[in-house]
Amino acid sequence: MSSDPVHEQPTAEPPESENPSGAKPKLLAFLTPENLAQWRPKLSYQAGVLAVFALLASVLLGFADLATRDVIQQRLDEDLKASLEAVVPADLYDNDLLADTMTLPSAEHNIGAEQTMVYLAKKAGTVSAVCFKFIAPDGYAGPISLVMGVNRQGEILGVRVIAHVETPGLGDKIEIAKSKWVLGFNGKSLDNLTAAQWAVKKDGGVFDQFAGATITPRKVTQAIKRGLDFYQSHKTQLLGTGTAETVEAP
């Protein structure tokens, strides 16, 4: 008994799949030298190219910022720590100066900021001295940045100039590396000098001026006196401990 032959069902050919990369040849076909030559003079083309380069530059700058931010902050902290240690003797504190701080209003004292961060030097938990950065805004050639340490009695422990643009060979003698002039403030206070004595000798005070440069030492002297005024106005708060105004340094 013969059986009908088995007919194989025709196998349907798979439909042509859409080429997911079909757009690529079209794009490449468009990006021919001839087409680019036609588009290049157009404003929209130029704006697009500029936008692409601006985006790439922004991305690269963002990565560079992330890669260097911590290193830069570490260097800034090291420089700040060195400045503070230069004006407060090491035997006066056993704490981290960068961690114990208090921010206080200072606009009325004209020391370069609406608020000033004060670093507290503590020995066995008690504030023994403070130090802070401030500015003489009216130097001969521009603002002069300083840092000063003051003990509990309001006497200056040390002053250093940390930035200025004064005249080389004349006004730059405010730097400790150029002269010892700034050491003349050590031990001075609002109690052991009268207001009139807080001036250069040319103005009737006790501090030397420089030959050919009177304005720079005059303005630094005036700013240091205002820095002491700032300390005096907040002395009670600064010598207390554990106040709500204590914040961590950035």
**pLDDT tens, 100-145?**
999 999 999 999 999 999 999 999 999 999 999 999 999 999 999 9
**pLDDT tens, 166-177?**
999 999 999 999
* Domain final position from 55, 87, 119: 87
Q: Are residues 126 and 211 in the same domain?
A: yes
Say how many C-beta atoms besides its own lie within 10 A of residue 246's C-beta. Answer: 16
The residue segments making up the domain with residue 180 are 91-247
Strand positions, DSSP E, 137-242 = 144-151, 156-163
Q: Are residues 113 and 237 in the same domain?
A: yes
Task: Assess if residue 1 is contained within a domain.
Answer: no
Tokens of 80: 């700040």
Residue 47 vs residue 118, higher pLDDT: 118
Tokens of 147: 């840092």
pTM of the model: 0.70
Tokens of 139: 């130097």
pLDDT band (50, 70, 90) for residue 56: confident
Q: Are residues 139 and 213 in the same domain?
A: yes
Domain count, the chain: 2
**pLDDT tens, 60-86?**
777 766 767 777 777 877 888 899 999
Task: Assess if residue 229 is contained within a domain.
Answer: yes
- Whose CA is closest to 227, among 160, 177, 127? 160
Q: Are residues 139 and 225 in the same domain?
A: yes
Q: Are residues 204 and 240 in the same domain?
A: yes
Distance from C-alpha of 237 to C-alpha of 205, rounded to nearest angstrom: 31
